[in-house]
Structure formats: structure tokens, C-alpha cells
Amino acid sequence: MATSAQHPPRSPLSGVRVLEFSLVFSAPYAGVQLADLGAEVIKVEPPGGEPFRNLGTPVPGYAKNFQWANRGKQSLVIDLKQSEGREVVHRLVEKIDVVLINYRPGVAEQLGIDYETLSAIKPDLIYADINGFGSEGPLAGLPASDIVAQAYGGAVALDAKLDESGAPVGPALPVGDLPSGIAAAMGISAALYRRERTGEGQCLSVSLLRTVMHMGFSHVMVEPVNDEVLRDFIVREIERRRDAGGSYADLVSVRTELGIRGSPMSLYFSGYRAKNGGLVLGALTSSNREAIRSVLGIHDDPSDEPGFDGSDPENQKTVEALRDRIRASLMEKTVEEWMQLFIEAGAPAAPVILPEDLAQHPQTSMHFMELESEITGPQKQVRPLVELTPSPSQPRSAAPVIGAHSERVLTEVGGYAQSEIRTLQEAGVIE
């Protein structure tokens, strides 16, 4: 593997060198995971930098979203539209372990940075491609963004959020982009392990659509025995409303009406209002539900008794009556008062914390670290997903300035002489 100058040798992926061709969030987030684990991640950007550097920011070239998605990396600016730029990549890849890319389908081939081209130069290369729809099916090869994948993959319908006109509202979190980045990092780590054992390279693919479908939990799964109880009933009702010309709101409401609200579990695994804010109950076991009941003073809930059928209409009325009691009870105290009682009882509950408050909260603030940017100064970011002992996982820097590492990468990785670098700079091939 290549020698990394950025991370101490104890870091898990120290010595791994990654060349990242990326936009927006899925591949950049995968690169963050690898950088956090010690890899030397070199982000290749076009002249002027990735477009998202300048999206909604008062600081030219250093938008907050870009900083978040590119910490710990180096920036190398290459004009890949010039043949000399592609030649630079081909020279660098000889000393690269991993290529990570999420360009639109077909772009890698046009730019000469596809797997076939690069693996011919370095046969043991690990090449990770994140795409929209995967390599099969009628939409394979088409581009897709996070919200498109969420719509195709069922996540938008699962949330069942509607705007004032009854149109679907996409989920607030990018459950296509970010989990795809994690999946790519996991696949790359597995491929690196296999290469250590066999010497073989790998070409791996992650699609936003499949990732979203994974995030759909068992709702996406089809299994005939259990499905007779609920899923088949929901499917028949959806078909009936669809045949009758039902609106989107009519269709997505079926799952809420028949599947979720009538479930006894939803009483204690749901969100509620308190006197001064929101909180959620998160009980998945009967013992946890009993702990919540003890705090709320509910002693006549039959929903955990053997034989209680939540699909029975009379039992559904019982569940709804209990829900009304819980709502009324929780409105009697503040979030802080309820949380003290739930914590004392060992009951799973949480205040609904705004993202802007996380850096100051006594618990969530423990998951932050401080980085120093030469552009914007000190910043707080969430620590790496995985902590290892004794191997550290920690980014060594904030997001890079445009082209800050071009000369260093060309010199140390590509073996370029200063005269060659000046020639490339004068031709506008690199910045």
C-alpha cells in the first residue's frame, strides 16, 4: 500500500491512499469515513473547485456543506477535459490503492477514469462506484439524486408527509446519500482486507436506490406467512383506492390507518407533545413499555396481554383511547420534568432536540470534536462514526482549500519534477 504522510501508523487505514472523484454527498461522505479511519484521501476537483463549494455561503469556495462533507482530505485540482489532465490521473493511479467516484453514469468513461482504464494501469486497484439505480433494470445508467432514490425506494411514502396541497414531502435526512457512503466505505474496507490476503483488486458498486430500500426495514420485505396478517390487507386496500382514482394522500394514508395507528406498540414508540416541547417514547419490549406505564400511571392497558389482537376493531378503539390518555397526561408536565421521571424509571424516552442545540446539550455535546480551519477558524464537528482502541480514528484537518495540495500530491505521489508542475500550471491543467 501507499505511504500516507497524514496519519500516524496506528490509524486503521494508515498507508491507504484514496483518489476521490466526487460531487455533493454520497462519495464525499464515503471519503470522510475513510479519512477518519486514517486513509490519505485526495479529492480531485475541476478548475474552480467542486460546485458545492460556493452554494449558499458568504465565504467564497468554502460553503458549510462542503466543509462538512470533505474534512480530513487533500484537494487536487485537475482539468480532466484536457488529455494532459487525464494523463496526470493515469500517472498518479500507479500509487493509489482506491478510486472512489460518484459521477453521472458514462462520465467516467468519457474522462478515462473508468474501472477498465484504471485497472489496466494498476491491476490490484480497488474501484468504488456510487450510482443512482444500479447496473440492472430499465433505469440503469440514468442519474439520480437522493430524493429521487427515496421516492423510488419507498422512503417518501413511508414518511407519509404531505404539504398543504396534498403533495409528497421528501424526508428531511438524506437516507440515500449518507448510508450509501457508509456502505461504500464498508465495501472498500472489505476489499482492502481481501487484497491483503489474495492480491486481487475489486470493482464494487453501491446504488442509492438499493440503499434506500435497505433503509425501508421489513416494510420492503415480502414473506407470505406474516404478510397474511397485515401487509396483504394493506395491499388490497391500496389497490382498491388506486382503482377508484384515489389521490396520493388517499394511498399513503392506508398504511397509517390500517398498519400503524392500530398497532399497540405504536403507543409507546411514538412522538408526543409535552407542556413546553416534544418528546418521544421508544419502548420495543414489554418491560420497557411497563416502565413507561408506571411513570404515566397507566395500570389498565391490556395490549401486552397474550392474545391481544391489534387488528380487531374493538381493540383498535382501546388503543386509540389509551393514546388519548397518554397525550393528555404528557401535556401536564414539561419535557424536563417528564425526562427526570423516565430516567429514574429506566424507561426509554427522549426530548426532541433541535439540531442547532446539539453542540450545547450535556449528552450530545460529548460526540463533538474541534477542528481548525485556516479559512473560518475553529469549528465543531461530530466525531467519527467508529471509535477504535488503541487505533485512533480522527480527521487530521478541516476541509481543504481549493487546490491546496496539488503540488504536494503531484510531487510525492506522482513523482513530478517542479518543471513539469509549472508546465501543467501554465497550461491550466492543474491549479
Rounded Cα gap, residues 148 and 177, in angstroms: 11
List C-alpha distances in Å: 122 to 89, 101, 117, 199: 12, 17, 9, 12
For position 3, what pLDDT does the model report? Answer: 36
For position 304, what pLDDT does the model report? Answer: 87
What's the whole-model pTM score? 0.91
Rounded Cα gap, residues 397 and 56, in angstroms: 23
Look at residue 310 and tell me whether its pLDDT is greater than 70: no
For residue 77, with 0-12 CB atoms within 10 Å meaning exposed, 13-18 middle and 19 or more buried, which class applies? Answer: buried
Look at residue 149 and tell me whether its pLDDT is greater than 80: yes
For position 2, what pLDDT does the model report? Answer: 41
Look at residue 19 and tell me whether its pLDDT is greater than 50: yes
pLDDT digits (tens, 9 = 90+) for 245-254: 999 999 999 9
Answer for the pair 52, 25: CB distance below 8 angstroms, yes or no: no
For position 394, what pLDDT does the model report? Answer: 87
Answer for the pair 1, 97: CB distance below 8 angstroms, yes or no: yes
Look at residue 309 and tell me whether its pLDDT is greater than 80: no
For position 260, what pLDDT does the model report? Answer: 53
Q: Catalytic: which of 97, 177, 250, 324? A: 177
**Helices 286-296 and 335-345 sit at what angle, rounded to 10 degrees?**
130
For residue 143, with 0-12 CB atoms within 10 Å meaning exposed, 13-18 middle and 19 or more buried, which class applies? Answer: middle
User: How confident is residue 418, by pLDDT bands cut at 50, 70 and 90?
Assistant: very high
Rounded Cα gap, residues 238 and 252, in angstroms: 8
Q: Fill in the DSSP letter of residue 355.
A: G
User: How confident is residue 5, by pLDDT bands cut at 50, 70 and 90?
Assistant: very low
For position 240, what pLDDT does the model report? Answer: 94
For position 229, what pLDDT does the model report? Answer: 78
Rounded Cα gap, residues 193 and 189, in angstroms: 6
- Tell me what percent of the residues of the chain surpass a pLDDT of 90: 81
In the chain, where are the structural domains located? 17-214+366-426, 228-356
Query: Residue 206 in 3-state DSSP?
Result: strand
Q: What is the assigned CATH class of domain 17-214+366-426?
A: alpha beta
pLDDT digits (tens, 9 = 90+) for 178-216: 999 999 999 999 999 999 999 999 999 999 999 999 999
Look at residue 261 and tell me whether its pLDDT is greater than 50: no
CATH T-level fold of 228-356: formyl-coa transferase, domain 3 (3.30.1540)
Strands 277-282 and 349-351: antiparallel
State yes or no: is 243 an active-site residue: no
Rounded Cα gap, residues 384 and 418, in angstroms: 36
Averaged confidence pLDDT in the chain: 92
For the segment 87-103, the average pLDDT, to the nearest whole number, is 98
The residue among 6 and 120 whose pLDDT is bigger is 120
For position 110, what pLDDT does the model report? Answer: 96
Peptide bond into 390 cis (omega under 30): yes
Q: Which of 46-50, 121-125, 233-237, 306-310 has the lowest mean pLDDT?
A: 306-310
Write down the residue that cell numbers 464498508 correspond to: 186
Can you list the alpha helix ranges (DSSP code H) found in 333-405? Answer: 335-345
Measured in residues, the chain has a length of 431
For position 9, what pLDDT does the model report? Answer: 63
pLDDT digits (tens, 9 = 90+) for 114-140: 999 999 999 999 999 999 999 999 999
Q: Which of 92-96, 265-269, 359-363 has the lowest mean pLDDT?
A: 265-269
For position 316, what pLDDT does the model report? Answer: 80
For position 8, what pLDDT does the model report? Answer: 58
